[in-house]
């Protein structure tokens, strides 16, 4: 895991406050699509998919699938290990394989043409955001100074990566991906990513719920929003017991605060329970 920590830590070292944006619709998209054999939402795999998308988005946006400084490159097996699975685990392959669930949802595209660097064009903007031009391995000539180094590091001729289409192409009602459109998105910063990934007390479900509360609450007064529990569990596809277990972990870390309201059911209808107030606090 040390080389993985160095690889992702180098994104922060090179780019400072690196970050990516994900569409707020991602939670329902994943929980609707990723099911167990019995037809219920598989929250473990939903959470894995969410963090996987954050991971490949950071790698793509900062052209860091291959890290020449650390002689390392990131494969799906590496990401499995990074996110708490065995490198050879097959159960989650249906989510991340070529033409798997994420590709079918048009959230990602499997490609061998990975980005190797990018350039910013501050005078050319979309939605007042400088255009980011990516250069891929296929754009390099064999005479390029980086070409031989990249080929030396990536020994697998069949090496494939995921392009996060929601970031690089039009997304839903937006004409542009989340690189250039912040509407109905939430931002995950590299320090948040590193905090969750390398904290042994936290797992993918904690990160998923953190991202959910950031998406729902940040930007409102006091970064607070009242949300009914049933709406949260429905959108995430999580059962109440699991939700409250991981909510306690987030509260214990100080990442989320909750003003608990009426816990009693009115007329035996849980939908009529008063909504709790959730305060997104962040990792600082």
169-219 pLDDT, tens digit per residue, is 987 667 789 999 999 999 999 999 999 999 999 999 999 999 999 999 999
Please give the order of strands across the beta sheet that includes 224-227: 224-227, 276-280, 256-259
pLDDT above 90 coverage of the chain, percent: 87
Mean pLDDT of the residues in the chain = 93
Give the tens place of pLDDT for each residue, 104-160: 999 999 999 999 999 999 999 999 999 999 999 999 999 988 999 999 999 898 999
Residue 264 scores a pLDDT above 50: no
What is the separation of C-alpha 48 from the centre of its chain, rounded to a whole number of angstroms?
9
The pLDDT of residue 114 is 97
The torsion angles phi and psi of 261, rounded to 5 degrees, stand at -100, -145
Cβ–Cβ < 8 Å for 62, 14: yes
Q: Could you give the angle at the alpha carbon of 279 between the alpha carbons of 276 and 281, nearest 5°?
A: 155
Rounded alpha-carbon distances, angstroms, from residue 172 to 49, 63, 183, 211, 215 = 19, 25, 11, 20, 17
If DSSP codes are grouped into helix, strand and coil, which group holds residue 163?
Answer: strand
At 96 the pLDDT is: 97
> pLDDT confidence of 274, banded at 50, 70, 90?
confident
Read off the tokens for 256: 């989320």
Positive or negative: CA dihedral 275, 276, 277, 281 = negative
Q: 11-56: per-residue pLDDT in tens?
A: 999 999 999 999 999 999 999 999 988 889 999 999 999 999 999 9
Looking at the DSSP bridge assignments, the partners of residue 73 are: 66
Strand partners, 238: none
Which pLDDT belongs to residue 273?
65
Around 61, how many Cα atoms within 13 Å sit in the side-chain half-sphere?
29
Percent of the chain with pLDDT over 70: 94
């Amino acid at each position: 895991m040390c080389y993985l920590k160095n690889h992702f830590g180098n994104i922060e070292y090179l780019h400072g406050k690196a970050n990516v944006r994900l569409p707020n619709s991602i939670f329902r998209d994943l929980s609707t699509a990723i099911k167990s054999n019995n037809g219920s939402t598989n929250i473990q795999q939903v959470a894995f998919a969410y963090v996987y998308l954050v991971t490949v988005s950071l790698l793509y946006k900062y052209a860091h699938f291959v890290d020449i400084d650390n002689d390392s490159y990131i494969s799906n097996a590496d990401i499995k290990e990074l996110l708490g699975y065995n490198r050879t685990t097959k159960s989650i392959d249906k989510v991340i394989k070529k033409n798997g669930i994420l590709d079918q949802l048009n959230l990602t595209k499997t490609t061998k043409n990975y980005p190797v660097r990018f350039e910013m064009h501050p005078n050319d903007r979309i939605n007042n955001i400088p255009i980011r031009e990516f250069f891929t391995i296929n754009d390099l000539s064999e005479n390029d100074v980086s070409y031989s180094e990249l080929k030396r590091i990536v020994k697998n001729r069949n090496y494939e990566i995921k392009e996060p289409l929601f970031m690089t192409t039009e997304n839903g009602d937006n004409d542009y991906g989340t690189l250039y459109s912040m509407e109905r998105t939430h931002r995950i910063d590299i320090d948040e990513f590193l905090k969750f990934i390398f904290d042994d007390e936290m797992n993918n479900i904690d990160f998923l719920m953190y991202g959910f509360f950031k998406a729902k609450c940040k930007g409102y007064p006091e970064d607070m929003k009242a949300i009914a529990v049933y709406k949260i569990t429905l959108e995430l596809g999580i059962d109440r017991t699991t939700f409250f277990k991981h909510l306690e972990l987030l509260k214990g870390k100080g990442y989320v605060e909750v003003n608990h309201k009426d816990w009693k059911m009115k007329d035996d209808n849980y939908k009529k329970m008063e909504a709790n107030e959730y305060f997104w606090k962040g990792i600082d």
